């Protein structure tokens, strides 16, 4: 998509915010940091976990926090930054893991299409942010991404796309590894709606539960669901 947009922009002289007008996208991403500070009562969190594609959003959240500190809107605080990638497209994670100062391009192969950037332009900068804040960069499998989507839906009622599933799965991985303290204030960035990637969960969710438009039919279905060990995203179709 990015290559096509670049060709269209060059051919027709058009502007794409995420392509040849990139500075607007980059600066706009700082608002993800601004909003978090505001919603936390003009305080910064202890830790953030955000998805990594090009790496730009990750670094601009950091920049947003620093700008708020500089103008005195929030107290100075060292926030730890951790990034999340899908294993099937994880060039930033691989460079971070191998302590390399360059990104080796990869061919994406993951259900997390919105994170599938094989040659991330800001990857090195994302690694710098993770390192200087004592954060982490992790990757998770497609199966773990699906489980992350399910976990968020079941516990918070939020249907996220695969990027959010990636971030939740990495959060879980970091907590289980003891890299995030349960007492920390941790912000997890869920950057997309699940309706964008419905095809990714086909075959991984339960069959729809069909009922009649009658209360007793609903009650029977409800009782049935309570006998299951786990109700996995079942839909009630009337």
Confidence check: pLDDT of 213 > 70: yes
pLDDT of residue 206: 65
Query: What is the model's pLDDT at position 6?
Result: 82
Across 79-88, 142-151, 206-215, 222-231, least confident range? 222-231
Q: For residue 210, which of 192, 234, 228 has the smallest C-alpha distance?
A: 234
- 192 contacts 114 by C-beta, under 8 angstroms: yes
* Higher-scoring residue by pLDDT: 233, 64: 64
Banded pLDDT at 163 (limits 50, 70, 90): very high
All structural domains of the chain with their residue ranges: 2-204, 206-238
Radius of gyration of the chain (CA): 20
At residue 228 the predicted structure's pLDDT band, cuts being 50, 70 and 90, is low
236 pLDDT more than 50: no
Higher-confidence residue of 195 and 185: namely 185
Cβ count near 104 (within 10 Å): 12
Task: Give the pLDDT confidence of 16-59 residue by residue, as tens digits.
Answer: 877 667 778 888 999 999 999 999 999 999 999 999 999 999 99
> What is the overall mean pLDDT for the chain?
90
Q: Residue 113 carries which DSSP code?
A: G
Q: Residue 174: pLDDT above 60?
A: yes
Q: Say whether pLDDT at 111 is over 70.
A: yes
- Top pLDDT among 139 and 231 is at 139
Class of domain 2-204: alpha beta
């Amino acid at each position: 998509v990015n290559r096509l947009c670049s060709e269209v922009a060059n051919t027709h002289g058009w502007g794409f915010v995420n392509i040849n007008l990139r500075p607007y996208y980059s600066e706009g991403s700082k608002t993800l940091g601004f909003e978090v500070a505001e919603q936390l009562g003009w305080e910064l969190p202890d830790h953030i976990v955000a998805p990594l594609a090009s790496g730009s959003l990750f670094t601009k959240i950091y920049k947003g926090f620093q700008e708020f500190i500089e103008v005195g809107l929030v107290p100075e605080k060292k926030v730890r930054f951790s990034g999340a990638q899908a294993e099937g497209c994880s060039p930033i994670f691989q460079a971070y893991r191998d302590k390399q100062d360059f990104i080796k391009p990869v061919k994406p192969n993951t259900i997390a299409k919105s994170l599938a950037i094989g040659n991330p332009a800001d990857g090195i900068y994302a690694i710098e942010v993770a390192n200087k804040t004592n954060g982490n960069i992790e990757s998770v499998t497609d199966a773990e991404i699906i489980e992350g989507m399910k976990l968020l839906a079941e516990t918070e009622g939020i249907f996220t796309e695969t990027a959010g599933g990636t971030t939740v799965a990495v959060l879980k991985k970091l907590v289980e590894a003891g890299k995030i303290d349960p007492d920390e204030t941790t912000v997890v960035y869920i950057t997309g709606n699940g309706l964008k990637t419905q095809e990714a969960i086909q075959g991984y969710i339960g069959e729809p539960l069909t009922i009649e438009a009658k209360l007793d039919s609903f009650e029977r279905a409800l009782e049935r669901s309570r006998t299951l060990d786990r109700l996995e995203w079942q839909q009630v179709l009337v």
